[in-house]
C-alpha cells in the first residue's frame, strides 16, 4: 500500500480507537485506517444489555487472558478478558458509566501528566456525553455517548439500598458523575433505546459513513515499523496474508492495557531486560513499558431476600425467553438494563481524602456467568477497593504477537489494600443492617457470619475476590523527563516520532470507578491534541468533598452499627 495513503493508522477499534476514528475523520482531508483483530459486534448477546456476561466469556469476542499465579491470592490465576470485537471492551463490559472522582485526575497532573487535571478533563466528559436528564455545569446533552439510569430503579431493592447508605451515616448524592461523587444514589449506564451504547454504536458507525475512514477487521498487527526513531507503519496479517501498511503521519496504538504494551515490546520498544529475555532486538529502551499495571478487585456480599422480588425469580428458561422476546420486539423490560441501577462511593477510613470504595448494587444473588448463587431469592453488593497501591506488569514472552504476554497484577501486595478490604466487609454489614433493608434482609450468605476477625476476612478475600476487569496504567503518561513514563502529556511515545498510545494504559493511577468513561474522555481530549495541539478551555467548577475527611470516615454516626 502507498506510504501516502493514510495519515493515521489506529490499532484497535475499542473504547478509545472508535472515538479517535470518529474525531480524526471529521477533517475530510485526513485519511484514517482503523485496524481490529476481532469482527462484527452485531450479536444479540453484545447488543442486549442484560446478556453482558456472555460476550466477556466468549473467545470470539474477547481475548481470554489470564494472569500468572497471583502470589498474594493463594496463587490463583485471575481472568482478564479484553474486547476483541468492534467496540473493544465497550462491547463486552457492564456498561456502567462512572467518570471517577475529580481528585483522581488532579492526581494524574500531580504525577506529571500536565493539564490532565479535572478542570481540563471535564469539558471532554461533557463533549462525549448525551445525558438523559438536565444538563448543567457538569453534564451535557448532544454528544455521541448515551447515558441514563436504565429502568429507573423500578425494583424497590435499589432505593432501599440508597436509603440504607444514608441511614448508615453517608451522604446521598443526586449525581455521582456531577459535583459530588461521595455518597449513595442512582447508577448510570451507557444504554440507548434499550441497546448497549458501545463506542462502536456511538462513534464508529456514524464515522463509517465517511469516505476518509477505512475499517479493517480480522487483522492481527504483528509489529510497528520503525525507521531509526520514527514509526512509519505497521506489519499485519490479514485475510490476504502478510502486509506492510505505511503511513505519512502517525501510528496510534489503542490496543488496550494488555495489547498496547505488548505491541511496543514485540516492536523492540520497552525494558531492555524484558526484550533480551524474549530474544527481541532492542530498538528503543523505555523501561516503563508494561510496568505500573493496576486493576480493581471486588467481591460479592450476598444476602437472601425475604420477599420474592429479586431477579433470581427470572432465571428460568421460560422467563429468560420472555425477557429476550420482549427485548427483540420492543427493546424494553429486563433485557434493556445491566441491572446495576444504584450504587455508593465511600471512604474506607478517616484520613482518606476522597472515596476509595465503590458499591454496585444488584437485586439478585448471581455469578458473573449468569447462574444463580443459591436457590431462592437474594441480592448482592459488588464491593471493592478502588485506589490500590499494588502494582504489576505486562511482559512479552517472544517476538510472536500471537503468544499471550505474561501478566502479573500483584493483587493485595500492599498492606493498605488488605486493610481496605477488611473495611469493605465491616462497612457493608453496617449498611445492610439499617432499617431500610429490614423488609428484605435475610441471612448473610457470603462472606457468612463466621467471617469476623481480620484473619478470617483476609482468608475469605483471598479466596473470593475477583477482578472487576479494569486493568490500566501499563504505558503510563508522565512528564517528559520521567524515566518511567512511556508517553508524554500529549500522548506521544517518548523518544519515537510518529507514534502515540491512546487508551487506558496511559492512566498514571486508576480512578475511583469503572474505566470506560475516563477512557472515552481521554480519547476525546487526545483527538484534539493530535489534530491541533490545542484543547477545550478548562472548566471552573466546584467539587464537593467532606471537609472533615482527615478525622471522620463518614458524615454522621450510623443508626445501627453491627457489633
Which residues carry out catalysis?
470
Matching residue, cell 444504584: 342
Other C-beta atoms closer than 10 Å to the C-beta of 391 total: 17
Q: Which grid coordinates are listed for 267? A: 516492536
Q: Which grid coordinates are listed for 397? A: 514472552
Radius of gyration from C-alpha coordinates of the chain:
23
Give the Cα separation of 291 and 14 in Å (integer).
Answer: 22
Give the Cα separation of 335 and 191 in Å (integer).
Answer: 11
**95 marked as binding residue:** yes
Give the Cα separation of 178 and 188 in Å (integer).
Answer: 12
Matching residue, cell 485526513: 30
**313 marked as binding residue:** no
Beta carbons within 8 Å of 450's beta carbon, 6+ residues apart: 456
Cα–Cα nearest to 45, from 315, 370, 342, 316: 370
**22 marked as binding residue:** no
| Per-residue exposure over 77-111, b if at least 16 CB sit within 10 Å of its own CB, e if not | ebbbbbbbbbbbbbbbbbbbbbbbbbbbbbbbbeb
**521 marked as binding residue:** no
H/E segment holding residue 192: strand 191-192
**410 marked as binding residue:** no
Residues 266/211, Cβ–Cβ less than 8 Å: no
Phi/psi at 47 (nearest 5 deg)?
Answer: -75, -30
Q: Which grid coordinates are listed for 328? A: 427483540
Q: How far is CA 139 from CA 123, 129, 401, 411, 541, in A?
A: 9, 8, 41, 34, 12
Q: Let me know if 76 is exposed, middle or buried by CB neighbors in 10 A (0-12, 13-18, 19+).
A: middle
Residues 234/263, Cβ–Cβ less than 8 Å: no
Cα–Cα nearest to 380, from 297, 470, 304, 456: 304
List % helix, strand, coil for the chain (3-state, nearest 5): 25, 25, 50
Torsion of CA 475, 479, 484, 485, to 10 degrees: 10
DSSP-derived pairing of the beta strands 342-346 and 241-246: unpaired
**238 marked as binding residue:** no
Give the Cα separation of 90 and 301 in Å (integer).
Answer: 26
At residue 258, the 3 state secondary structure works out as: helix
Residues at the binding site for FAD are: 85, 93-96, 221
Residues at the binding site are: 85, 93-96, 221
Amino acid at each position: 500500500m502507498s506510504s501516502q495513503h493514510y495519515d493515521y493508522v489506529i490499532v484497535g477499534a475499542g473504547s478509545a480507537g472508535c472515538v479517535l476514528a470518529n474525531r480524526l475523520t471529521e477533517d475530510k482531508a485526513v485519511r484514517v485506517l482503523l485496524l481490529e483483530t476481532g469482527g462484527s459486534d452485531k450479536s444479540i448477546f453484545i447488543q442486549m444489555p442484560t446478556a453482558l456476561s456472555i460476550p466477556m466469556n466468549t473467545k470470539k469476542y474477547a481475548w481470554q487472558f489470564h494472569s500468572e499465579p497471583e502470589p498474594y491470592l493463594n496463587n490463583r490465576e485471575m481472568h482478564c478478558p479484553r474486547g476483541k470485537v468492534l467496540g473493544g471492551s465497550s462491547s463486552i463490559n457492564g456498561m456502567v458509566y462512572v467518570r471517577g472522582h475529580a481528585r483522581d485526575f488532579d492526581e494524574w497532573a500531580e504525577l506529571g501528566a500536565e493539564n490532565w487535571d479535572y478542570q481540563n478533563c471535564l469539558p471532554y466528559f461533557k463533549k462525549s456525553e448525551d445525558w438523559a436528564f438536565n444538563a448543567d455545569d457538569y453534564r451535557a446533552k448532544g454528544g455521541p455517548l448515551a447515558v441514563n439510569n436504565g429502568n429507573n430503579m423500578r425494583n424497590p431493592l435499589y432505593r432501599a439500598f440508597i436509603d440504607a447508605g444514608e441511614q448508615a451515616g453517608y451522604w446521598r448524592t443526586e449525581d455521582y458523575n456531577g459535583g459530588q461523587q461521595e455518597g449513595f444514589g442512582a447508577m448510570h449506564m451507557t444504554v440507548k433505546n434499550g441497546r448497549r451504547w458501545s463506542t462502536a454504536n456511538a462513534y464508529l458507525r456514524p464515522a463509517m459513513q465517511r469516505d476518509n475512514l477505512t475499517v479493517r477487521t480480522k487483522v492481527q498487527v504483528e509489529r510497528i515499523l520503525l525507521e531509526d526513531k520514527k514509526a512509519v507503519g505497521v506489519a499485519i496479517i490479514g485475510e490476504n496474508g502478510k502486509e506492510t501498511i505505511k503511513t505519512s503521519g502517525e501510528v496510534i496504538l489503542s490496543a488496550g492495557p494488555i495489547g498496547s504494551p505488548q505491541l511496543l515490546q514485540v516492536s523492540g520498544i520497552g525494558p531492555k531486560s524484558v526484550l533480551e529475555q524474549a530474544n527481541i532486538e532492542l530498538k528503543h529502551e523505555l523501561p516503563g513499558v508494561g510496568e505500573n499495571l493496576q486493576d480493581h478487585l471486588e467481591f460479592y456480599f450476598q444476602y437472601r431476600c425475604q420477599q420474592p422480588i429479586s431477579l433470581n425469580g427470572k432465571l428460568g428458561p421460560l422467563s429468560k425467553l420472555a425477557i429476550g422476546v420482549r427485548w427483540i420486539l420492543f427493546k424494553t423490560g429486563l433485557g434493556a438494563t445491566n441491572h446495576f441501577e444504584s450504587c455508593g462511593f465511600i471512604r474506607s477510613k478517616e484520613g482518606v481524602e476522597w472515596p476509595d470504595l465503590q458499591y454496585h448494587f444488584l437485586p439478585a444473588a448471581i455469578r458473573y456467568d449468569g447462574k444463580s448463587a443459591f436457590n431462592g431469592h437474594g441480592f448482592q453488593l459488588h464491593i471493592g477497593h478502588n485506589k490500590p497501591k499494588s502494582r504489576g506488569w505486562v511482559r512479552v514472552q517472544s517476538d510472536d504477537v500471537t503468544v499471550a504476554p505474561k501478566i502479573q497484577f500483584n493483587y493485595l501486595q500492599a498492606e493498605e489494600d488488605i486493610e481496605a478490604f477488611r473495611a469493605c466487609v465491616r462497612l457493608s454489614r453496617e449498611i445492610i443492617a439499617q432499617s431500610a433493608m429490614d423488609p428484605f434482609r435475610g441471612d448473610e450468605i457470603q462472606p457468612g457470619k463466621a467471617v469476623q476477625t481480620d484473619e478470617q476476612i483476609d482468608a475469605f478475600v483471598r479466596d473470593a475476590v475477583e477482578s472487576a476487569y479494569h486493568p490500566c496504567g501499563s504505558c503510563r503518561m508522565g512528564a517528559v523527563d520521567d524515566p518511567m513514563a512511556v508517553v508524554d502529556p500529549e500522548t506521544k511515545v517518548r523518544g519515537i516520532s510518529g507514534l502515540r498510545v491512546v487508551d487506558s494504559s496511559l492512566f498514571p493511577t486508576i480512578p475511583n470507578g469503572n474505566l470506560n468513561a475516563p477512557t472515552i474522555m481521554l480519547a476525546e481530549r487526545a483527538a484534539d491534541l493530535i489534530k491541533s495541539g490545542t484543547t477545550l478551555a478548562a472548566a471552573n467548577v466546584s467539587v464537593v468533598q467532606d471537609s472533615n475527611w482527615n478525622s471522620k470516615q463518614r458524615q454522621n454516626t450510623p443508626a445501627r452499627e453491627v457489633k
